[in-house]
Structure 1
Amino acid sequence: MIGLETYRVSAQALADYEVTFSDDILDRASPELATCGNRTETRSRRRIAVLDESVNALYGTRIREYFEWHGLECQYVVLPPGEQHKVMETVLTVIAEFDRFGLDRRREPVISFGGGVLLDLVGVATSMYRRGVPHVRVPTTLLGQVDAAIGAKTGINHGAHKNRLGSFQQPAGVLLDRRFLASLDERHLRNGMAEIVKLAVVRDERLFELLEEHGELLIEERFQGSSPTGERVARQVLHRSVQGMLAELEPNLWERELDRLVDFGHSVGPALEMRADGELLHGETVAIDIALFTTVAASRGVLDDKAGRRILELLHRLALPTDHHLLDGDLLRRAMTDTVRHRDGRQRLPVPVGIGAATFLNDVSDEELRSALRHRRREAVPT
């Protein structure tokens, strides 16, 4: 018998990056954008900037002028916007630009300017290229600033599935500038608000109260602080949202633990988003998911009626959908089957038990979900 010898390998992945709030990072006097992500002793003067077409039209000139002012050689890659382009073909297009540029493995950060779709695309590309090159994220949407940009996950769609392919890669740095939100249309502002509502419901009662009191003002002022109240609340809401997300993500950055409060709003929403094929934005499906599982929690009696009404009323006040004609029993069943696979054989469904508190359910039946959907149909006007 041949003897067996076993060698154990044990290593931990270190996460160390900064998420920085900075107003007007494109101001030439602001050094953050020029220096972010370059921590090596030998600093390079080269960068690659990846923008989507919308961001390029709005901010492309200022971005180019900024890098020229700081004496940085920069190659610009402009991608088409939209969820339909969040696929491997686009990732390979970006990687080809890295090769064309001759991107250094450590000293030349890739800087992405855009919403969640673009940040994910570039995240996948930078995690694959040379097994990882530094990536600085500059989210230009509300959803990007409070959710997509600040964690370590990247993902692209594959087949009929949202974010089926992806990786974990910490950013080299994240720069949050609310001045970008001034150019967002109202729908995309509301889209980002859904992710803030999600966090408020499951872990931050004060944040929920701020949204109840001032949510409409924030949208009206586009988080720009046009009034003293708007300025104060915009800063509070953005900071509480980011701090809350980081508090949830940091202890579990690589998702070793699959009971995750931040999965609230993401149990049937991803399947609905893919079926809608562009008809619904990500945050809109999050809102529909929130409404559905708030109804499940209320019907079970783990959430009292008053709290349930407050959650649904806040979604309505922010003009977020709570139902959609494409959501049906078949989609619910398929979405839950996929969710259970994704969460390692258990449902792990976060549901609210109050404003700012939640628990996890693992025994929700198909009929219970269909009943909650019928209840939502009676109370909500489908979009």
Structure 2
Amino acid sequence: MSGQVLDRVAHLPAGVSEDPGGFDLTAPDGTHYRVDLATGVLDPHNDLLANAVQGRRAVVFVSPTVDRLHGDRLRAYLSARTRPGQWTLHVVPTGEHHKTLAAVEHVCALAKADGLDRHGVMVAVGGGIVADVVGFAASIYARGIRYIKVNTTLVGQVDVGVGVKTGVNALQTKNMFGAYHPAHASLNDPAFLSTLPHREIRCGLAEIVKMAVILDADLFAALERHPDAFRRSGGGRPDHSHGELETYILRTSMRLMMEELCPNLQEHELARLVDFGHTFSPVVETAGGHRLEHGEAVAVDMALSAHLARLLGLADEDTCERVVRLLRRIGLPVFDPGTCTPELMTQALRASWQRRGRKLHLVVPTDIGKAAFVEELADVPEDVLRTALRALAADGERRDA
């Protein structure tokens, strides 16, 4: 059944399978979940969300923006496809400053006040922050209940929506607290993307560039040819639902991410290629007071990591230049003067080293579509880091034709 999910099905072979409606993942430990990719998720005739709820008591959480753009359709769907009195909807604030334990407790308090029991389901409709907060709340509410993600942003669909991690920021650290809690269903409708501002599209593209750099040279080349993907328009609003290019980018990114996550779903192995762009970026975000969005900080991190790869002799100059140039052409920052200092970036390296079990596991490109790990702090000498930051500053001042 489309939209079914999370279960333990050890008889299925481990791996990711793809079909026209989405993807199924079965991890080596038997954890199984499905990610659906379909249009018209909030159309009352679409069964995906209703089948995922399965007649259970549902408490739905949306961001203010999602409520403004899609709230009427969501309420109409729930009214049409669930029994009267079986659902409630709450608008919760978003933004990194609201991604906290207090927000998780607030979600749990609302669910309890609505009478949600252990057989009920939480539903998160929105971007990555809503999914992270509600997913973490679901993982601890009554020691764990089901939750459903309806991902409305590009980052949500290619990153948060295909994984099992939930989390909130705490102790001046990004995603310090969290849990591995696969969603009962993850529903992704490309039509939602047509309502996103360009900045959010660019942030989603940063996560797509990440996957292309480390795993797929063809995807990278497609982005080089079309850095305006998901924003192409002849003067009107771009068509995100049916563009062949966008469909290819979306599906390829989702599949690549799931294939990388599958054998190491709960991160028992701390060296992960998908951490490309996620070594320096947590400090860029937090030290900058979240002035940069997550995807923008990831772009800065990828550019810095590309320069480090060049200076360490792990990648040639052309590879480094292509990575940085693509990020700039998409419109993403590659340098942040306020946080890209030797002191703060050294701090970022040490924090990652500590978090990753006293190994650095810094992911750097070795070619387009290939990557490697720099394992030790000593492998990134201070003078190399300073030289990379100077090159990054020069990149930040350049403009592409």
State the distance in 2 between where 1:19 and 1:118 align: 17
Q: 2:32 — aligned with what?
A: 16
Structure 1, unaligned runs of 5 or more: 1-11
The secondary structure found in structure 2 opposite 1:234 is helix
Matched, 1:336 2:352: no
Matched, 1:350 2:366: no
Q: 1:112 — aligned with what?
A: 124
Question: How far off its partner does 1:215 sit?
Answer: 2.5
Q: 1:257 — aligned with what?
A: 269
Q: 1:224 — aligned with what?
A: 239
The secondary structure found in structure 2 opposite 1:274 is helix
The secondary structure found in structure 2 opposite 1:370 is helix
State the distance in 2 between where 1:250 and 1:37 align: 25
The secondary structure found in structure 1 opposite 2:183 is coil
Matched, 1:359 2:372: yes
Question: How far off its partner does 1:357 sit?
Answer: 0.4
Structure 2, unaligned runs of 5 or more: 1-27
- Equivalent of 2:134 in 118, 122, 129: 122
- Equivalent of 1:197 in 175, 194, 209: 209
Aligned positions, number? 363
State the distance in 1 between where 2:243 and 2:68 align: 27
Question: How far off its partner does 1:381 sit?
Answer: 1.9
Question: How far off its partner does 1:330 sit?
Answer: 1.3
Q: 2:295 — aligned with what?
A: 283
Q: Which moved more, 1:61-70 or 1:71-80?
A: 71-80
The secondary structure found in structure 1 opposite 2:232 is helix
Matches within 5 A, 1:207-222: 207-221=219-233
Matched, 1:50 2:67: no
Question: How far off its partner does 1:382 sit?
Answer: 9.0
Matches within 5 A, 1:290-309: 290-309=302-321
State the distance in 2 between where 1:223 and 1:274 align: 33
Q: 1:30 — aligned with what?
A: 46
Conservation of the 8 A alpha-carbon contact between 2:215 and 2:370: yes
Q: 1:89 — aligned with what?
A: 102
Relative to the length of structure 1, the TM-score reads 0.91
Question: Residues 345 and 382 of structure 1: is their aligned pair in 2 closer, same or farther, counting only changes over 3 Å?
Answer: farther
State the distance in 1 between where 2:398 and 2:113 align: 48
State the distance in 2 between where 1:175 and 1:162 align: 26
Relative to the length of structure 2, the TM-score reads 0.87
Q: Which moved more, 1:195-204 or 1:215-224?
A: 215-224
Question: What is the identity, as a one-letter code, of the residue corresponding to 2:390?
Answer: R
Question: What is the identity, as a one-letter code, of the residue corresponding to 1:328?
Answer: T
Question: Residues 320 and 309 of structure 1: is their aligned pair in 2 closer, same or farther, counting only changes over 3 Å?
Answer: same
Matched, 1:147 2:159: yes
1:262-294, CA deviations, whole angstroms, 9 ceiling, x for partnerless residues? 000000101110112131000000000000010
Conservation of the 8 A alpha-carbon contact between 1:224 and 1:234: no
Question: What is the identity, as a one-letter code, of the residue corresponding to 1:285?
Answer: A
State the distance in 1 between where 2:317 and 2:53 align: 48
The secondary structure found in structure 1 opposite 2:62 is strand
Conservation of the 8 A alpha-carbon contact between 1:332 and 1:366: no
State the distance in 2 between where 1:380 and 1:52 align: 33
Question: How far off its partner does 1:110 sit?
Answer: 1.1
Question: How far off its partner does 1:14 sit?
Answer: 3.8
State the distance in 2 between where 1:164 and 1:216 align: 34
The secondary structure found in structure 2 opposite 1:219 is coil
Conservation of the 8 A alpha-carbon contact between 1:181 and 1:223: no
Conservation of the 8 A alpha-carbon contact between 1:25 and 1:177: yes
Percent identity reads 36
Question: What is the identity, as a one-letter code, of the residue corresponding to 1:170?
Answer: P
Question: Residues 225 and 169 of structure 1: is their aligned pair in 2 closer, same or farther, counting only changes over 3 Å?
Answer: closer
State the distance in 2 between where 1:378 and 1:52 align: 38
